[in-house]
């Protein structure tokens, strides 16, 4: 069921952006799944889905994403960027940077970005990003690819976290000491995303977005441990390449990490 929870101020702030159509669900399986299905039915770029609760929230690397009802902002956006296939990661980058900006604006603190797109406070995770695509243009012609980017950010969580999350997760209210308004955070994120969504469509824009990400990604320059499915190794993260892969120097080898978990070992 869709509930119209955005007030007049929020609706008018978004009216001048591509994100005017916000569908807020009490409960849904996954906002990413919903938007991918809507995209297949021809939904326009800019459609936004939000949920108070997801029963089958999807996370990176095939994991599930679980959050108590009403405690997080669980949001996905539908984009149809004019973007070469090797640069689709920039859609996630745009969302992560925009949510970091929204935290700075609405909650007065700036989370760090850990590769690829986790928002962190210290070593605890505040938000995660998952992009899913329906490639509409094999070979580079045809309509722009569909990219659905979902982000789940912990907003108003209980002070006591379940044991398995206690050292690993954090919510906005833990940082600020007071509850945050999820609608306002959503509007701030979408306002910050509007120019970045535009940047995806041009080479100059993409180059600016990549530079901004490299400058703000706290993983670059850090000693890290990389946990892959069947192997872990340590090294120094030296850069993120144009395809969004993390470059890690381990002794004489420079390894390119395409997917995996990163642990920041200590500041350099």
- Interface with ligand BTN (CB under 6 A): 30-32, 54, 57-60, 63, 65, 74-76, 118, 128-130, 150-152
Minimum CB distance to ligand BTN, residue 19 (Å): 15
User: Which is it for strands 22-28 and 48-54: parallel, antiparallel or unpaired?
Assistant: parallel
Residue 34 Cβ vs ligand BTN, minimum distance, rounded to whole Å = 8
Q: How far is CA 94 from CA 114, 130, 153, 172, in A?
A: 14, 12, 15, 20
Q: Least CB distance from residue 31 to ligand BTN, whole Å?
A: 4
Of 13 and 119, CB closest to ligand BTN: 119
- d(CA 72, CA 205) in angstroms, rounded, equals 31
Residue least distant from ligand BTN (Cβ)? 128
Which CB, 46 or 57, lies closer to ligand BTN?
A: 57
Measured from the CB atom, is 129 or 226 closer to ligand BTN?
Answer: 129
Q: Which is nearer to ligand BTN, 76 or 156 (CB)?
A: 76
CA end-to-end distance (rounded Å), the chain: 49
Task: Name residue 114's beta-bridge partners.
Answer: 118
Residues shown for the chain = 268
- Nearest to 246, CA basis, from 260, 267, 229, 264: 260
Residue with Cβ nearer ligand BTN (33 or 196): 33
Cα 82 from Cα 200, distance rounded (Å): 7
For the bound state, the minimum distance from the C-beta of residue 122 to ligand BTN, rounded and expressed in Å, comes to 17
Residue 176 tokens read as 């600020």
What does the H/E/C string look like for 98-118? Answer: HHHHHHHHHHCCCCEEECCCE
* Minimum distance of ligand BTN from residue 256's CB (angstroms): 21
Q: Which is nearer to ligand BTN, 48 or 197 (CB)?
A: 48
Shortest gap between Cβ of 258 and ligand BTN (angstroms)?
16
State which residue, 59 or 84, has the beta carbon closest to ligand BTN: 59
Question: In the complex, what is the shortest distance from the CB of residue 24 to ligand BTN, in angstroms, rounded to a whole number?
Answer: 13
Residue 104, number of CB atoms within 10 A of its CB: 14
Question: Residue 10: CB partners within 8 Å, gap ≥ 6?
Answer: 183, 184, 186, 187
């Amino acid at each position: 069921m869709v509930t119209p929870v955005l007030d007049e101020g929020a609706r008018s702030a978004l009216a001048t952006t591509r994100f005017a159509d916000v569908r807020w669900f009490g409960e849904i399986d996954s906002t990413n799944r919903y938007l991918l299905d809507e995209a297949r039915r021809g939904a326009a770029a800019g459609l936004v889905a939000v949920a108070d609760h997801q029963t089958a929230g999807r996370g990176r690397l095939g994991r599930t994403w679980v959050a108590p009802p009403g405690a997080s902002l669980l949001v996905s956006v539908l984009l149809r960027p004019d973007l070469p296939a090797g640069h689709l990661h920039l859609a996630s980058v745009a969302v992560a940077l925009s949510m970091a900006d929204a935290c700075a604006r609405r909650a007065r603190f700036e989370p760090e970005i850990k590769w690829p797109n986790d928002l962190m406070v210290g070593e605890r995770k505040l938000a995660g990003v998952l992009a899913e695509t329906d490639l509409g243009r094999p070979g580079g012609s045809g309509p722009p690819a569909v990219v659905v980017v979902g982000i789940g950010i912990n907003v108003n969580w209980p002070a006591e976290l379940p044991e398995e999350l206690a050292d690993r997760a954090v919510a906005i209210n833990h940082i600020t000491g007071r509850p945050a308004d999820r609608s306002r955070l959503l509007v701030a994120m979408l306002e910050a995303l509007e120019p970045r969504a535009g940047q995806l469509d041009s080479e100059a824009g993409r180059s600016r977005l990549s530079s901004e990400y490299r400058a703000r990604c706290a993983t670059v320059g850090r000693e890290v441990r990389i946990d892959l499915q069947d192997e872990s190794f340590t090294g120094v993260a030296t850069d993120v390449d144009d395809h969004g892969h993390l470059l890690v120097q381990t002794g004489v080898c420079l390894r390119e990490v395409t997917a995996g978990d990163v642990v920041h070992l200590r500041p350099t």
